Amino acid sequence: MNQTSHIQAPYSLKESSLHTHTDFSSVPKLDITIAKFGGTSVANFEAMTRCADLILSQPKTKLVVLSASAGVTNHLVKLANGLDDVAKSETLAAVRLIQEEILGHLQTEFQPNQALTNLLDRIDVLAKECQTKNISSDKRRMLADELVAHGELLSTTLFTAVLQQRGVCAVFFDVRGVMKTDSFFGRAMPKIELITHYAEKTLKDLVADNIVITQGFIGSNEQDQTTTLGRGGSDYSAALLAEGLHASEVAIWTDVPGIYTTDPRIAPLARPIKNISFVEAAEMATFGAKILHPATLLPAVRANIPVFIGSSKDPNAGGTYVSQVTEETPLFRALTLRRDQTLLTLHSLQMLHARGFLAEVFAILARHQISVDLITTSEISVSLTLDTTGSTTTGDALITPSLIDELNALCRVDVETDLTLVALIGNHLTKSAGAGADIFDVLSPYPIRSICFGASSHNFCVLVPSKDADEIVKALHKKLFE
């Protein structure tokens, strides 16, 4: 008998986590909004000006969390990977250019020249250190985090000045004093008790009298070394700070007016969703909807803080409200897609009626710090995809020769790449008769590598060749949503 199951990605919300043991309604809320602006929203002076207008029109917005200006983190990640001298100076020049465009629009008295020089010099030093060949991988990951953190330090330095030039009482705040994490460089886990403690101690009074501008994505460990929360992590930062401060709302300002039924870049007829539940939105984020970092809703659920998602380009275009309960729970809510999936298939006759085989496989994967995402099993084989959410490494990079050696001692291993996971997000999927008919009708012309369904009533996942994925999403969207 074949079985399929879905192992929760580390970030996913279990339905049971909605029923928290703490009664958050008894914790008095701080009546402020925490606003997060993504990379495109702070890409240049014009975009920053729109954000400033928006903040000025919303008196409850007291804490502002920023991403790096669009493109900067990618440049810094390249530098962290150790470029040759020519590529390094070109990349540094590209980073400087983005900062200089914004600086050029500031009057001399508001130009944060010294702070910018210090940050750019430090980037230079760190980029040089990353070029060194003989450093340990731990040191490299530590240097990389400090380096990429500079994108957010630069954008917040400049945006504070943009607001000050507008006459706003804006203060720059280095979030690393509050956003305490473990030492897993590249994808650190936040420590919410410490974050709450430091937020209470250092941020609470500051937001009472100022508009505080701080960094998303970055934090620090026990030794005060800089860490990062994984790519796209600024959304998560905003939600964590909201939980730490007991804020009454989080607003995620991005380049689209809310969460759509699928990525509007893929299906132009995708439409915005007005209200969505925490569980549905978390499933979407987990299964690849880039609009939210997958962990964003965990703090929001724990503290029951509603999240709004809107467009900083067009704030009056409305947006999506994510909250605990919604009036409607449609069978089909949205489609998402996660590219660059790696599938490991392990075959072994020993698996037949054996006990403990999977436990051994998972122990090996855990030792290699690999998080398993989807899994399907048959009598003598098991297929699993690797979770690389938020990581700067792809799945195949995680499959090192030493991992393969260890697995080969146990079974035969096949590795497949160029796969994409398409997920249909909805409600009561496991209880609704006939829900599969339309789905399989659309999928019938395509080869399907794997299907995961049944563990959650909120998702149905298929792993397909990457070249077919956009077409499948378009076809499913047409059949189920248009």
Query: Pick from ligand ASP, Mg ion, ligand ADP, none: which does 217 bind, CB < 5 to 8 A by kind?
Result: ligand ASP
d(CA 57, CA 45): 18
Binding mask 305-344 for ligand ADP (x = CB under 6 A): -----------------------------x----------
Q: Does residue number 69 form part of the binding site for ligand ADP (CB under 6 A)?
A: no
Determine the Cα angle at 469 with ends 41 and 404, to 5°. 100
Q: Which lies closer to Mg ion via its Cβ, residue 235 or residue 249?
A: 235
C-alpha distances in Å from residue 412, one per residue of 366, 415, 417, 431: 19, 10, 17, 37
Q: How far is the CB of 265 from ligand ADP (least distance, A)?
A: 4
Query: Pick from ligand ASP, Mg ion, ligand ADP, none: which does 255 bind, CB < 5 to 8 A by kind?
Result: ligand ADP
Q: How far is the CB of 460 from ligand ASP (least distance, A)?
A: 28
User: Would you say 322 and 309 are in contact if contact means Cβ atoms under 8 Å apart?
Assistant: yes
C-alpha distances in Å from residue 88, one per residue of 95, 141, 148, 293, 423: 11, 18, 14, 29, 39
Q: Looking at residue 13, what DSSP letter applies?
A: P
Residue choice 262, 341, 420, 450 for contact with ligand ADP (CB under 6 A): 262
399: which 2 tokens?
């499959």
Three-state SS for 365? helix
Q: Does residue number 265 form part of the binding site for ligand ADP (CB under 6 A)?
A: yes
Q: Does residue number 256 form part of the binding site for ligand ADP (CB under 6 A)?
A: yes
CA 84 to chain centre: 30
**DSSP class per residue in 17-72:** GGS-SS-GGGSPPEEEEEEEE-GGGGSSHHHHHHHHHHHHH-TTEEEEEE-PPTTH
Q: Does residue number 33 form part of the binding site for ligand ADP (CB under 6 A)?
A: no
Q: How far is the CB of 422 from ligand ADP (least distance, A)?
A: 12
> What residue type is 222 in one-letter code?
E
Instruction: Tokens 């724990």: give the residue.
Output: 302
d(CA 463, CA 469): 9
Q: Which lies closer to ligand ADP via its Cβ, residue 218 or residue 256?
A: 256
Q: Which lies closer to ligand ADP via its Cβ, residue 157 or residue 237?
A: 237
Q: Which lies closer to ligand ASP via its Cβ, residue 71 or residue 330?
A: 71
Q: How far is the CB of 328 from ligand ASP (least distance, A)?
A: 30
Query: Pick from ligand ASP, Mg ion, ligand ADP, none: which does 68 bind, CB < 5 to 8 A by kind?
Result: ligand ASP
Q: Which lies closer to ligand ADP via its Cβ, residue 226 or residue 262?
A: 262
Residue choice 263, 283, 373, 406 for contact with ligand ADP (CB under 6 A): 263
> Applying CB under 6 A, which residues contact ligand ASP?
38-39, 67-68, 73, 151, 216-217, 231-234
Q: Does residue number 232 form part of the binding site for ligand ADP (CB under 6 A)?
A: yes
